[in-house]
Structure 1
Amino acid sequence: MLKAAGYTNGVLVGSVTPGGPAEKAGIKAEDILVAIDGKPIKDGEELVSKVSEMPIDSKLKVTVDRAGKKLDLMVTVLDREEVFKDDPRFARRRNETPTPEKVEGTPAKFGIMIRPMSETEKDALKLGEGDQRGIYVTKVEEGSFAAEIGLQERDVIISVNRQPVATPEDLRKLQSTLKPGDAVAFRVMRPTPGRQQGAPGYVAFFAAGTLPEGN
């Protein structure tokens, strides 16, 4: 995942909880957390471990890479369960079967079928006023690269390798620059189970891997 952004260590931020400690500190989605109190962070597990060891209400200096620029931000530590409640790594596995989509999409070599999203669908993502990112996954081929990294039908792809994706053509242009052995990181919005009709909710995360030979 981080190789796509030029890193071997660190944590790529998938989403930031509104009103949470990360947002208050100024951390944004797609930032890369590279150090805490000046000490490099290897991965997400090390990040969780370090944060868990700190007393509640203590402050940490978090160094992030934002589009190639290093920033030092002060984060106030809260209860671990609250801080990481939206992190897919700590969510319980759900066994819901996605409802198949009948809309035909555009084939992509990642092993997915995609289609454009309507303005109403994009508004439901709540990415921010004027933010038009998002293409809809209508099918994931069994045994494909997309399936191996965990993409599912009804996922919404927001970016690839930190490059925004607003249309199927955007994805085609990005995939044309990739070759076997390249690292690929998708930022994805996934509908949350149990959402009410007309009021969908989404959880953001990264799905990443290395393109296999012969892809």
Structure 2
Amino acid sequence: ILTANHVVSGAEEVMVGLGTELRKYKAKKVGTDPGTDVALLKIEEKNLPAIAFANSEKARAGDIVLAIGNPFGLRQTVTMGIISAVGRGGIGIVDYENFIQTDAAINMGNSGGALVDTAGRLLGINTAIFSRSGGNQGVGFAIPANLARDVMQSLREKGRVVRGYIGASVQTLTPELAEAMKLKGEPSGALVGEVTPKSPSEKAGMKTGDVITSVNGKKIGDARELRLMIGSMPPGTKIQIEVNREGQSKIINVELAEMPAGEAEQDTEASPEENAQPEKATVFGGVAVADVTDEIRNALNLSKDIKGAVIAEIDADSPAAKAGLREGDVIQEVNKQPVKNAKDLVAISKRLKPDEKILIRVWSQGRSSFVALEPR
């Protein structure tokens, strides 16, 4: 039995009810995958009807769909709508987002239910809604059937989902970042903010600042597409990654490793200790920076290899704050020039051209990424 992980996560006992008479069965969790919000259950019963899978890759906006579920305890409710969009991501619900969006009424209790096409085949698993009131407002999301089926097979065979891993922290290349990096045309892809030591990416020669533009010849539009593609491949797979490095195209051959446990859930929140008050210098019109002392290194849980200037104070109205920088971030590079300490950063900032965007590499919340800063 396929369902949504958030329906059963944390439950000590799971009961499944079937039919209009609601025959009850105690269910066993075969496996769960919080990264996609899919869970696989098993009950001891024979001769149960099974649903056929549709090819969700063929789903298109405008297709008629039906959502089946248990909204507000009203069993076996069916609602109808259309597919509003496919490939929805960046919503922040789960790690691997590739949702089908629908206006079929989805409410509390629909999660884990089927989204089917007019032939009754499974197109998706209802998982979430966007709502200001808590009720249906015509914006529902379903995990696509193809993704759910891949996860289901992995859970059946291994009890967990095994994902490919390249060992690079990436972000979407925005027009602002592309301009700051002086990339010509209208480039798109996934910008490498950090390469993990001893990872497949490092062994293959990938570098910080590379823009991943395609994998095995398939174009990569943003970081989400790259994450979905790499995560869907088994460890040991050999792939060709095309990168844009300083405006030049390069092909890198990478053999995927297995994603380490917890890699997709990195999240470090910290701020410098109040008693650590090193000498400060001001850069970028409203950003006070300081050297990374041992006290700050401990407070921010910084590894020894992270060098730079820590943001001690920041003006909320400054371009840096508007670009997303905040206190406790560590500035590692400016326009690809390494920053060792606050003095370095001040010297580099004085040489900046007043009318050009500034490309900053910053360590924040446990990982490094790039930020494009508007000149003052």
Residues 1:34 and 1:27: Cα distance change in structure 2 (over 3 Å): same
Per-residue CA deviation, residues 11-60 of structure 1 (Å, 9 max, x unaligned), is: 22111122222122221222222222233322111111221232332111
Structure 2 residue aligned with 1:108: 283
Structure 2, unmatched stretches of 5+, are 1-176
**In 2, Cα distance between equivalents of 1:44 and 1:188:** 18
Post-superposition shift, 1:134?
1.7
Per-residue CA deviation, residues 59-88 of structure 1 (Å, 9 max, x unaligned), is: 110122334443211112334x439927xx
Structure 2 residue aligned with 1:139: 313
Structure 1 residue aligned with 2:369: 206
Give, as a single letter, the amino acid of the residue that structure 1 aligns with 2:317.
G
Give, as a single letter, the amino acid of the residue that structure 2 aligns with 1:4.
A
Secondary structure of 2:180's counterpart equals helix
* Mapped contact 1:149–1:207 kept (Cα < 8 A): no
Task: State which structure, 1 or 2, has the greater radius of gyration over its C-alpha atoms.
Answer: 2
Structure 2 residue aligned with 1:85: 263
**In 1, Cα distance between equivalents of 2:206 and 2:261:** 13
Q: Which has the higher contact order (CA 8 A, sep 6+)?
A: 1
Residues 1:171 and 1:66: Cα distance change in structure 2 (over 3 Å): same
Give, as a single letter, the amino acid of the residue that structure 2 aligns with 1:3.
E
* Mapped contact 2:194–2:369 kept (Cα < 8 A): no
* Mapped contact 1:183–1:208 kept (Cα < 8 A): no
Aligned with 1:153 (options 318, 323, 327): 327
Secondary structure of 1:15's counterpart equals strand
Structure 2 residue aligned with 1:52: 231
Give, as a single letter, the amino acid of the residue that structure 2 aligns with 1:208.
V
Aligned-residue Cα RMSD (Å) equals: 3.3
Q: TM-score, normalised by structure 2?
A: 0.43
Q: Does 1:24 align with 2:198?
A: no
Residues 1:45 and 1:84: Cα distance change in structure 2 (over 3 Å): farther
Residues 1:168 and 1:126: Cα distance change in structure 2 (over 3 Å): closer
Residues 1:24 and 1:55: Cα distance change in structure 2 (over 3 Å): same
**In 1, Cα distance between equivalents of 2:273 and 2:326:** 11
Q: Does 1:4 align with 2:183?
A: no
Give, as a single letter, the amino acid of the residue that structure 1 aligns with 2:304.
L
Structure 1, unmatched stretches of 5+, are 128-132, 193-202
Per-residue CA deviation, residues 171-207 of structure 1 (Å, 9 max, x unaligned), is: 3455453446x543321234x7xxxxxxxxxx33224
Q: Does 1:63 align with 2:221?
A: no
* Mapped contact 1:36–1:62 kept (Cα < 8 A): yes
Determine what percentage of the aligned residue pairs are the same residue.
27
* Mapped contact 1:10–1:44 kept (Cα < 8 A): yes
Give, as a single letter, the amino acid of the residue that structure 2 aligns with 1:154.
G
Q: Does 1:13 align with 2:192?
A: yes
Q: TM-score, normalised by structure 1?
A: 0.69
Post-superposition shift, 1:109?
2.6
Structure 1 residue aligned with 2:75: none
Q: Does 1:185 align with 2:185?
A: no
* Mapped contact 2:180–2:372 kept (Cα < 8 A): no
Give, as a single letter, the amino acid of the residue that structure 1 aligns with 2:371.
A
Give, as a single letter, the amino acid of the residue that structure 2 aligns with 1:85.
E
Residues 1:33 and 1:185: Cα distance change in structure 2 (over 3 Å): same
Residues 1:140 and 1:125: Cα distance change in structure 2 (over 3 Å): farther
Post-superposition shift, 1:143?
3.3
Residues 1:119 and 1:103: Cα distance change in structure 2 (over 3 Å): closer
**In 2, Cα distance between equivalents of 1:83 and 1:179:** 45
